[in-house]
């Protein structure tokens, strides 16, 4: 079996950990789940899995490495997954064996209980998973994977509740961190969001009696489902026979949705909190142009994630917009060993400069974020090699200075450029004429908070920028992580 290696360009981007999708009440539900996961592929490209239930054949599952299109479009695979109820998951490895995932780590996870089988798919990260795991193992649990999400199955097994939905409530009351969970029993599709609502989860309707749960609305579109509403923070929905029951199993808490979903993780054609992700990103560019103007001849996005912000920056500044960098649409993950020569070619394999447009121009490059900064340096070199007179970077997020513990694959803090350098030092290290990030208040204005960020009670989770964690990462603290002191 060929295992795919991450392309060198991808190492300098934050990666969302996974996407979840479930369908009930339609024939061949697994086919709909495969389409939904394909639409959510940007949330996890390492592996995917589907569990389906048929009243005659019971539960069946398939888990594969690689893209959904390469695995779950094959007739022999999909024939293994009959039934009108199915859930699925795409993943990056943010917990467990990062970058070295075993097939047993691929979700959904399945368990047999006294009242029947159940499967779960989890988007997020449990910040007390290590402590839970130790306790469960001491009490006799036998883990099959390195994933934090498997703790939920074992906690369900320990519950004394009489129904699987009540056991899920019990299990999730014991965990900390971020979770948007889709689960299934023989007859029910279940969706739950953590009390802070850090990760997204939406409800859709398909056909006369069918319902859908998904990480994003864009995945509803691909199967022709109607968007109904978002699952509220702290809400649990149980769907069966065309009926939905809603409950609130957790103590009330103020919502702290991940603001980086607006900046980068979600697809631009999705809707978050009633707002178009594309429009929010365009507005980020408008705010950035107001905060950090500079004289230049051309505004260019770093494709594809910087494109909406660059359009907004150009419109607000009056500086022409142009595609100064062209992305190779067919460059995914590489199957060749990343030798030093290939590694140095990394960005050029994926991006190429439009020399005729760039030559002699003062260029503003708009990107979504700077993580390690290595890619920014390479792109700057490409632009200068193409004959640009000046290079100015404008970044559509504040400096990423703190790791995320809620399900995002973030480097150690010491590897985050903004954690070790000031903005001026970063500018000099990258080697550009100017470097400016949008302010936290500017970002909040772009997502619809007219007065900016409420410092005493932030409206979103912005810990990767501010260092203010809405849920203390207890496992990390036990390992020596030092949180930012309260202001």
User: For position 192, what pLDDT does the model report?
Assistant: 98
Whether 18 is catalytic is yes
* H/E element, 340: helix 340-344
Indicate the pLDDT class of residue 33, thresholds 50, 70 and 90.
Answer: very high
What whole-number distance in Å separates Cα of residue 474 and Cα of residue 132?
11
Integer angstrom CA distances of residue 89 from 113, 166, 175: 22, 23, 20
Contact 473, 481 (CB under 8 A): yes
User: For position 485, what pLDDT does the model report?
Assistant: 73
pTM: predicted TM-score of the whole model, two decimal places: 0.91
Query: Which tops the pLDDT comparison, 99 or 74?
Result: 74
Indicate the pLDDT class of residue 3, thresholds 50, 70 and 90.
Answer: very low
User: For position 258, what pLDDT does the model report?
Assistant: 96
pLDDT digits (tens, 9 = 90+) for 253-282: 999 999 999 999 999 999 999 999 999 999
pLDDT digits (tens, 9 = 90+) for 445-473: 999 999 999 999 999 999 999 999 999 99
pLDDT (mean) for 384-399: 97
User: For position 245, what pLDDT does the model report?
Assistant: 97
User: For position 327, what pLDDT does the model report?
Assistant: 85
Helix-helix angle 150-158:164-173, to 10 degrees: 120
Among candidate residues 18, 151, 258, 464, the one labeled active-site is 18
What whole-number distance in Å separates Cα of residue 444 and Cα of residue 273?
14
For the chain, first and last CA: distance in Å?
A: 52
Q: Cβ neighbours of residue 424 under 8 Å, at least 6 residues apart? A: none
What whole-number distance in Å separates Cα of residue 34 and Cα of residue 50?
8
DSSP letter (8 states) at residue 334: B
pLDDT above 90 covers a percentage of the chain that reads 83
Integer angstrom CA distances of residue 46 from 17, 95, 148, 236, 412: 10, 13, 17, 28, 21
Q: Chain centroid to CA 155: how far?
A: 25
- Does the pLDDT at position 340 exceed 80? no
Contact 364, 319 (CB under 8 A): yes
pLDDT (mean) for 86-91: 97
User: For position 456, what pLDDT does the model report?
Assistant: 94
pLDDT digits (tens, 9 = 90+) for 124-164: 999 999 999 999 999 999 999 999 999 999 999 999 999 99
User: For position 444, what pLDDT does the model report?
Assistant: 98
Sign of the CA dihedral with 417 first, then 422, 425, and 426 last: positive
Beta-strand pair 210-214/226-230: unpaired
Indicate the pLDDT class of residue 13, thresholds 50, 70 and 90.
Answer: low
pLDDT digits (tens, 9 = 90+) for 403-428: 999 988 777 888 899 999 999 999 99
- Does the pLDDT at position 93 exceed 80? no
Contact 487, 142 (CB under 8 A): no
- Does the pLDDT at position 9 exceed 80? no
Q: What is the total residue count of the chain?
A: 487
Q: Which residues of 409-448 are buried (b: 16+ CB within 10 A; e: fewer)?
A: bbbeeeebbbbebeeeebbeebebbbbbbbbbbbbbbbbe
pLDDT (mean) for 160-188: 96
């Amino acid at each position: 079996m060929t295992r795919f290696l991450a392309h060198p360009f991808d190492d300098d981007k934050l990666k969302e950990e996974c996407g979840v999708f479930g369908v009930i009440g339609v024939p061949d539900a697994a086919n709909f789940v495969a389409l939904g996961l394909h639409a959510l592929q940007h949330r996890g490209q390492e592996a995917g899995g589907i569990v389906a239930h048929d009243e005659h054949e019971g539960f069946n599952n398939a888990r594969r490495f690689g893209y959904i299109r390469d695995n779950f479009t094959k007739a022999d695979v999909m024939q293994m997954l009959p039934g009108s109820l199915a859930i699925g998951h795409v993943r990056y490895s943010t917990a467990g064996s990062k970058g070295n995932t075993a097939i047993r780590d691929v979700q959904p996870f399945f368990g047999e209980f006294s009242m029947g089988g159940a499967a779960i798919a989890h988007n997020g990260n449990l910040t007390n998973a290590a402590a839970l795991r130790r306790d469960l193992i001491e009490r006799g649990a036998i883990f099959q994977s390195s994933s934090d999400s498997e703790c939920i199955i074992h906690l369900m097994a320990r519950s004394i509740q009489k129904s699987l939905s009540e056991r899920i409530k019990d299990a999730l009351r014991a965990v900390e961190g971020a979770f948007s969970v889709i689960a299934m029993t023989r007859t029910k599709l279940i969706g739950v969001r953590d009390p802070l609502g850090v990760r997204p989860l939406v409800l859709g309707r398909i056909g006369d009696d069918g319902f859908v749960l998904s990480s994003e609305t864009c995945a509803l579109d691909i199967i022709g489902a109607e968007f109904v509403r978002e699952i509220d923070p702290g809400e649990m929905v149980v769907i069966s026979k065309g009926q939905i029951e809603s409950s609130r199993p957790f103590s009330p808490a103020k919502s702290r949705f991940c603001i980086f979903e607006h900046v980068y993780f979600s697809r631009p054609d999705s809707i978050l909190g009633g707002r178009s992700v594309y429009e929010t990103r365009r507005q980020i560019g408008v705010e950035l142009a107001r905060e950090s103007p500079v004289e230049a001849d051309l505004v260019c996005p770093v494709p594809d994630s910087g494109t909406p912000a660059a359009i907004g920056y150009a419109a607000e500044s009056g500086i022409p917009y142009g595609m100064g960098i062209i992305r190779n649409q067919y460059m995914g993950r590489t199957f060749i060993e990343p030798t030093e020569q290939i590694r140095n070619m990394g960005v050029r394999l994926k991006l190429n400069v439009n020399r005729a447009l760039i030559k002699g121009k003062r260029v503003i490059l708009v990107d979504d974020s700077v993580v390690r900064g290595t890619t920014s340096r390479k792109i700057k070199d490409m632009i200068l090699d193409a004959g640009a007179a000046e290079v100015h970077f404008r970044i559509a997020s504040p400096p990423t200075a703190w790791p995320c513990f809620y399900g995002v694959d973030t480097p150690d803090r010491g590897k985050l450029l903004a954690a070790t350098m000031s903005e001026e030092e970063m500018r000099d290290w990258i080697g550009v004429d100017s470097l400016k990030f949008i302010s936290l208040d500017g970002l909040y204005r772009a997502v619809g908070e007219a007065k900016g960020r409420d410092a005493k009670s932030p409206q979103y989770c912005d810990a990767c920028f501010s260092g203010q964690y809405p849920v203390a990462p207890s496992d990390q603290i036990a390992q020596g992580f030092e949180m930012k002191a309260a202001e």
